[in-house]
C-alpha cells in the first residue's frame, strides 16, 4: 500500500512581524534588553497592568457567571454601551436606535466580520487602507477575498500627514469605495489628522459616496479623553454619513487575553438596523458560534456602572499621560546627547506608537549591539519605554543614527 503524504505541499507560513520581535526578545539573555514591539500597555516597570476598574468589575460579577453562552440581554447591553462610547450617548443615531452591532473577538474579529459583510453584500467594492496601516488589515481583507488598495497617508520626509495626497486619493477612488480609517492614535505612525482635516476628509468621502469604516483600537490613548478621541467619528455623523466601527477593549481596558470587541453600524432607521444585525449574527455563527462569556461581562459591567466607568476613564488618563511623558523624555534625552537630527515627531505624534524613521540597518544595529527590539518599519511601542530604560534607549538610538548621519554628511546625502 502506497503512503499518501497528504500535507507535503504545506510550507511554513511567514512569521507575523510583531510575534517575531517578541520571540527574538524572549530568547535574548541580555539584562538590558527592551521590547518596543508589543502594542499593549505596560506600566513604568515594564509590566502588564490589571486595571482597578477591571478588578472592581470582577468582584461585582463574582458568582453570577455561567458557562453557557452569554445572555442576549448582557450582549445587547455591551453593544449599546459600546455604541454610546464611540458615537456619543446623546447622538441621534443612538437615541433613535439606528445602530446595529454584535460582540466580536476583539478588534481583529470585528474587522474580519466586517470584511466578510463587505464581501457578501458589496462583492465588487474595494477597501482602501491608509499607507501604512496595521499589518494584519491586509491579511484580514485578503482572506475575506475583498480587493484592497492603499491611499496616501504618511509622509516619511515630514514624518507627518500627507494630507494633499490623501484627499487626491479619495477623489480618484471609484465611487462607493470603502475607506478604513483610524479615528485616533493611528497604528503604526501615531499621526492623526487635525479636526479641520477630518472635516475635509468627511466632506470628500461624502461627495464620492464612499463608506467610512473606523478601526478603533486605541480610544483614550491619543488624548486621555474618550470623547475627544472619538471626535472624528462624531464629525462624520454630523455630516450625515452612515458608518461602521470595529472596537477593541484589549488595550484600553487591559483585556488583551479576553478578546472582547464590538462591530457596529449606524443605519438609516431601526428596521435597517435589525436586518444588518441579523446578517452579522449569521456571519458570526458560521465563523465561531458565540464569543467567550467572561470578557463581555467585564466590559458591560465597566461601561454600565457609573462609578466603575468613572474609575476607568481616570485610569485611561493615567496611562495616556505616562506615554506622553515618555515621549517628552525620550526626545529631551536625544536632544541633550547633541543629536543633529530633528526629533520633534516623537512628541507631535500621539498614542501608543512612535514612527521613528529609523532605517532597517539602524534597527538591525539596535538589536545586535543594544538588544533593543522593534518592528522592521521602525515603529516604537512607547508603552515599552520606562523611566528605567529611556536614557539607555536614547543613547542606543543616538549611536545608530549619529554614525549614519556623519557618513551621509561625508557623502553629501540627507542621512536620516
pLDDT by 10s per residue, the chain, length 416 = 667 788 988 999 888 878 888 899 999 999 999 999 988 899 999 999 999 999 999 999 887 655 555 555 567 889 999 999 999 999 999 999 999 999 999 999 999 999 999 999 999 999 999 999 999 999 999 999 999 999 999 999 999 999 999 999 999 999 999 999 999 999 999 999 999 999 999 999 999 999 999 999 999 999 999 999 999 999 999 999 999 999 999 999 999 989 999 999 999 999 999 999 999 999 999 999 888 888 999 999 999 999 999 999 999 999 999 999 999 999 999 999 999 999 999 999 999 999 999 999 999 999 999 999 999 999 999 999 999 999 999 999 999 998 755 544 433 444 44
Instruction: Give residue 137's pLDDT.
Output: 97
**CA dist 372 → 28, 208, 342, 362, 378 (Å):** 10, 45, 21, 11, 11
Question: 70-304: what CATH class?
Answer: alpha beta
Q: What angle do CA 133, 370, 407 make, to 5 degrees?
A: 80
Helix/strand/coil for 244: strand
Which burial class, exposed, middle or buried, applies to 87 when counting CB atoms under 10 A from its CB (0-12, 13-18, 19+)?
Answer: buried
- 13 by Cβ neighbours in 10 Å (0-12 / 13-18 / 19+) ranks as exposed
Mutual angle of helices 306-336 and 390-411, in 10-degree steps: 40
CA dist 16 and 35 (Å) reads 16
C-alpha of 150 from chain center: 17
Secondary structure of residue 131 in the 3-state scheme: strand
pLDDT value, residue 8: 87
In tens, the pLDDT along 207-246 reads: 999 999 999 999 999 999 999 999 999 999 999 999 999 9
| Domain spans in the chain, listed from the N-terminal domain onward | 17-49+320-407, 70-304
> Grid coordinates in use for 396?
542606543
The three grid cell numbers given for residue 374, joined into one nine-digit string: 522593534
Q: pTM higher than 0.85 for the full model?
A: yes
DSSP 128: E
User: Are 331 and 343 contacting, i.e. CB atoms less than 8 angstroms apart?
Assistant: yes
Tell me how far apart the 2 most distant CA atoms of the chain are, in Å.
74
Q: Residue 325 has which C-alpha cell?
A: 511623558
| CATH code assigned to 17-49+320-407 | 3.90.1150.10
What confidence score (pLDDT) does residue 411 get? 36
Q: Which residues of 378-396 are buried (b: 16+ CB within 10 A; e: fewer)?
A: bbbbbbbbbeebbebbbeb
What's residue 409's pLDDT? Answer: 44
Beta strands (DSSP E) in 38-182 are 99-105, 126-131, 147-152, 154-155, 160-161, 178-181
Helices (H) and strands (E) in the chain, counts: 16, 13
Q: How confident is the model at residue 403, as a pLDDT?
A: 73
Catalytic residues: 134, 215, 251
Q: What angle separates helix 195-207 from helix 231-238, to the nearest 10 degrees?
A: 40
> Per residue in 24-53, pLDDT tens?
999 999 999 999 998 889 999 999 999 999
Cell (9 digits) for 392: 539607555
Long-range contacts of 265-271 (CB under 8 A, 24+ apart): 265/99, 265/100, 265/101, 266/87, 266/93, 266/98, 266/99, 266/237, 266/241, 266/242, 267/93, 267/98, 267/99, 267/100, 267/242, 268/98, 268/242, 269/96, 269/98, 270/96, 270/97, 270/98
Amino acid at each position: 500500500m502506497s503512503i499518501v503524504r497528504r500535507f507535503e505541499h504545506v510550507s511554513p507560513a511567514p512569521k507575523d512581524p510583531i510575534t517575531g520581535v517578541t520571540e527574538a526578545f524572549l530568547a535574548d539573555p541580555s539584562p538590558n534588553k527592551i521590547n518596543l514591539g508589543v502594542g499593549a500597555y505596560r506600566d513604568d516597570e515594564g509590566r502588564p497592568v490589571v486595571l482597578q476598574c477591571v478588578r472592581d468589575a470582577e468582584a461585582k460579577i463574582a458568582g453570577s457567571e455561567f458557562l453557557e453562552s452569554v445572555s442576549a440581554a448582557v450582549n445587547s447591553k455591551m453593544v449599546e454601551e459600546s455604541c454610546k462610547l464611540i458615537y456619543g450617548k446623546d447622538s441621534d443615531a443612538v437615541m433613535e436606535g439606528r445602530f446595529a452591532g454584535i460582540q466580536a473577538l476583539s478588534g481583529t474579529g470585528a474587522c474580519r466580520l466586517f470584511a466578510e459583510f463587505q464581501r457578501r453584500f458589496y462583492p465588487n467594492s474595494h477597501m482602501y487602507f491608509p499607507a501604512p496601516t496595521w499589518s494584519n488589515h491586509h491579511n484580514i481583507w485578503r482572506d475575506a477575498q475583498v480587493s484592497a488598495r492603499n491611499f496616501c497617508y504618511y509622509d516619511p520626509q515630514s514624518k507627518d500627514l500627507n494630507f494633499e495626497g490623501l484627499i487626491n486619493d479619495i477623489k480618484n477612488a471609484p465611487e462607493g469605495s470603502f475607506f478604513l480609517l483610524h479615528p485616533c492614535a493611528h497604528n503604526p505612525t501615531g499621526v492623526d489628522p487635525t479636526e479641520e482635516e477630518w472635516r475635509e476628509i468627511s466632506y470628500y468621502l461624502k461627495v464620492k459616496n464612499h463608506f467610512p469604516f473606523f478601526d478603533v483600537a486605541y480610544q483614550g490613548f491619543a488624548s486621555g479623553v474618550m470623547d475627544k478621541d472619538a471626535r472624528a467619528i462624531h464629525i462624520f455623523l454630523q455630516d450625515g454619513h452612515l458608518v461602521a466601527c470595529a472596537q477593541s477593549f484589549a488595550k484600553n481596558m487591559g483585556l488583551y487575553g479576553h478578546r472582547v470587541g464590538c462591530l457596529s453600524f449606524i443605519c438609516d432607521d431601526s428596521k435597517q438596523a435589525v436586518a444588518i444585525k441579523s446578517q452579522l449574527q449569521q456571519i458570526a455563527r458560521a465563523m465561531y458560534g458565540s464569543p467567550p462569556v467572561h470578557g463581555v461581562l467585564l466590559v458591560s459591567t465597566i461601561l454600565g456602572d457609573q462609578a466603575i466607568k468613572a474609575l476607568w476613564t481616570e485610569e485611561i488618563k493615567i496611562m495616556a499621560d505616562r506615554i506622553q511623558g515618555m515621549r517628552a523624555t525620550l526626545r529631551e534625552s536625544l536632544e541633550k546627547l547633541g543629536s543633529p537630527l530633528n526629533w520633534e515627531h516623537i512628541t507631535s505624534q500621539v498614542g501608543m506608537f512612535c514612527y521613528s524613521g529609523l532605517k532597517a540597518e539602524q534597527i538591525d544595529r539596535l538589536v545586535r549591539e543594544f538588544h533593543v527590539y522593534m518592528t522592521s518599519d521602525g515603529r516604537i511601542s512607547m508603552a515599552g519605554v520606562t523611566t528605567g530604560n529611556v536614557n539607555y534607549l536614547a543613547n542606543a538610538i543616538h549611536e545608530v543614527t549619529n554614525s549614519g548621519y556623519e557618513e551621509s554628511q561625508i557623502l553629501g546625502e540627507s542621512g536620516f
